[in-house]
Amino acid sequence: MSLGVAFGMAITTALRTQAAALVHASARADAGEQLRHERFVLSRLVVGAGALSLAPAYLAWRGAPGAFEAAMIVAAALAVAAVALLSRTGRLDIAHAISAAALSLFIVSLAAVTGGVSSPLLLWLAVVPVEAAFFGGRLFMLRAAWIALASVFAAVGLQRMGVIAATASWAGDAMPMLAMVALCQTLIATAVLLRRRSAEEREHRAAEARAQLLLDHVGDLVTWHDAGGAVVFANAAARTLAGAEPRDLLGRGLLDRVHVADRPLFLKALNDAAHGAGVATVCFRTLFVPQGGPDEPRLPVSLWLEMQAYRADAATGGNGAAVVCVMRDVTARRALDEERERGHAEALRANDIKGRFLATVSHELRTPLNAIIGFSEMLANEQNGWIDAAKRLEYAGIIHASGHHLLDVVNTLLDISKIESGAMAIEREPLELAEIARDCCTLMELKAEAGGVELERVAGPGLPPVEGDRRALKQVVLNLLSNAVKFTPPGGRVTLAIVRDGDMIDLSVSDTGVGISAADLPRLGDPFFQAKGPYDRTHEGTGLGLSVVRGLVGLHGGRLTVESAPGIGTRVCVRLPVGGAEGVEQPARIVTFARAPRRGLETKEPLRLTA
């Protein structure tokens, strides 16, 4: 029994699918009209095509067809012709008129072989207008009634002409009159039913209009999808959220506007709602060109939509919809979420910087403080009679050097704080960079000799004065030279070069030191950043020197570039404008290159080596 039911359901589904495929495109926009076309196609195909398929077997059994068999074949062929006409033109009125003629021919043919106009079957012509009421309104019914009435007169005429044989009956020649009375009664009853149905349809259309008005003003995009995911309905929000008219989203119109990378998520949500849990939520991007006037710019727009998909029940799935989707614009919310994530990342980064700051500053301050405290206690202890004057002088020098180191650390922290807060002020005056470079090399000469590093200074001819702050520029040069000497092994060389390049002056410090890895180059200039961790490095320093240099160069309107390669060396170049750049209040950007530093100086003028 279950196999028979399953087989019957499969046949019914196949027939409905075939009937839906034969519906004209003009009838698919209205669900009710599409349903009427499907019912008409299905009923006529079952009767007409079924009768024509049995005709060869019947003719093989009975032999040559007579007038009755020919009339039956013509009636079946007219039913199939009505389906073909409807599928090609979408004209249900003409197709139904042909179908009514086929039904009338079928009834008259049966009446002709069962008594002619005296046959009770002639009363079945009253069914023709009743059947028309199922597919249309009053015009359909009146047209079918005229066809049935014409069939009655045709039957009477054919019998009087001798085409139809007369047979005695209890009704005699009164049967045509009875058929016309039955037609009139049927017309009256059908008219009442049609009036009631018209009232119900008006109420239904009013309800649909109210629902459509509500859907068009909710602001969210509402779409209905069939079992294959194709759109069968879309509301007016399609203009703002998809950049198209609602009719343009039908079929694959919405899928074509979904971002290519998000289409799998979109289709999976539809499948989960239709065949899975019944509810699915997904966020995806749409990419479209908005509608506008001819003079308005038509640039692509990308929006984030949040879609909630629900399986359609019997009430909403009557028009072929399997899934109902509600989509709203969440672009602003996504932007806020991304901003919140960036803020969280910045907070983590600030916390990481704070941790590095504490580690670095504690390392830099603890060592000189321990020296100051330890040696001062030794000097203050009267029981240490073994300490002679030379030792006391040595300990006092260590305390003095440690104090200066602490003062340098504090001053550096104050400078970087002023630069980042915009409170650093510089006093501009005409300066000779060659003179500042000579003074800085003199100060770094002892440190370079102690480290076994050769220090060179190169100055190009015709260097013009630079508008800047003497203390700030001197601090820039000292920081660069100190870093270069510190990270250059014994036997290496550090070169300070100053040349003119048009309206700019290039001040570069090159070394043959350990270099900087490509992974560390992008973070150069960040406060407290050092290429090695604060606990495993072999050189002293807070990691603030290059940050101070970057800020001071920016205050002078300059630019800072770094070229380095591990094991080859580093070249730091400062480009300053000849006339100064007053009003610039933001740090210079550091441009880094993961390559070996250039050894030559790019200038057309001969260089002069100064002592």
The answer to whether 566 and 520 are in contact (CB under 8 A) is no
Q: What is the pLDDT of residues 77-109, one digit of tens each?
A: 888 888 888 888 888 888 888 888 888 888 788
Residue 213 CB coordination number (10 Å): 12
Distance CA 217, CA 222 (A): 11
Distance CA 285, CA 258 (A): 6
3-class DSSP state for residue 510?
A: strand
Pairing mode of beta strands 504-511, 429-431: unpaired
**Between the CA of residue 246 and those of 225, 238, 366, 516, 572, what are the distances in Å?**
13, 6, 72, 60, 61
Reading phi first (left if > 0) and then psi (alpha if -120 to 50, else beta), residue 531 is in alpha
Tokens of 73: 């074949």
Q: Which residue has the tokens 């500053």?
A: 361
In the chain, which stretches have pLDDT less than 50?
Answer: 1, 168, 170-172, 315, 317, 533-538, 581-596, 599-611
pLDDT of residue 600: 40
User: 263: part of which helix (H) or strand (E)?
Assistant: helix 263-275
The answer to whether 430 and 468 are in contact (CB under 8 A) is no
The answer to whether 592 and 523 are in contact (CB under 8 A) is no
Q: Helices (H) and strands (E) in the chain — how many of each?
A: 16, 14
Pairing mode of beta strands 504-511, 569-577: antiparallel
Distance CA 495, CA 510 (A): 5
Q: What is the pLDDT of residues 38-85, one digit of tens each?
A: 888 887 787 777 777 877 877 777 777 777 778 878 888 888 888 888
pLDDT of residue 590: 45
Q: What is the pTM of this model?
A: 0.43
Residue 576 has phi, psi (to 5 degrees) of -120, 140
Distance CA 499, CA 604 (A): 10
User: 94: part of which helix (H) or strand (E)?
Assistant: helix 92-112
- Decide: residue 527, CB within 10 A, 0-12 exposed, 13-18 middle, 19+ buried: buried
Give just the sign of the alpha carbon dihedral 5, 8, 10, 13: negative
Q: Which amino acid, 575?
A: R
Give just the sign of the alpha carbon dihedral 58, 64, 68, 70: positive
Q: Which residue has the tokens 């059994």?
A: 61
Distance CA 609, CA 19 (A): 97
DSSP state of 527: T
Give just the sign of the alpha carbon dihedral 100, 102, 103, 105: positive
Tokens of 200: 């119900």
Which of 520, 507, 515 lies closest to 588 in space, CA to CA?
507
Distance CA 21, CA 41 (A): 10
Let me know the angle formed at the C-alpha of 467 by 463 and 471, rounded to the nearest 5 degrees.
100
pLDDT of residue 540: 55
Which of 85, 79, 182, 92 lies closest to 137 in space, CA to CA?
92
User: 197: part of which helix (H) or strand (E)?
Assistant: helix 175-216
Distance CA 521, CA 524 (A): 5
Distance CA 313, CA 460 (A): 86
Strand partners, 593: 563
Half-sphere exposure of 289 (CA within 13 A, CB side): 7
pLDDT of residue 9: 65
User: 540: part of which helix (H) or strand (E)?
Assistant: none
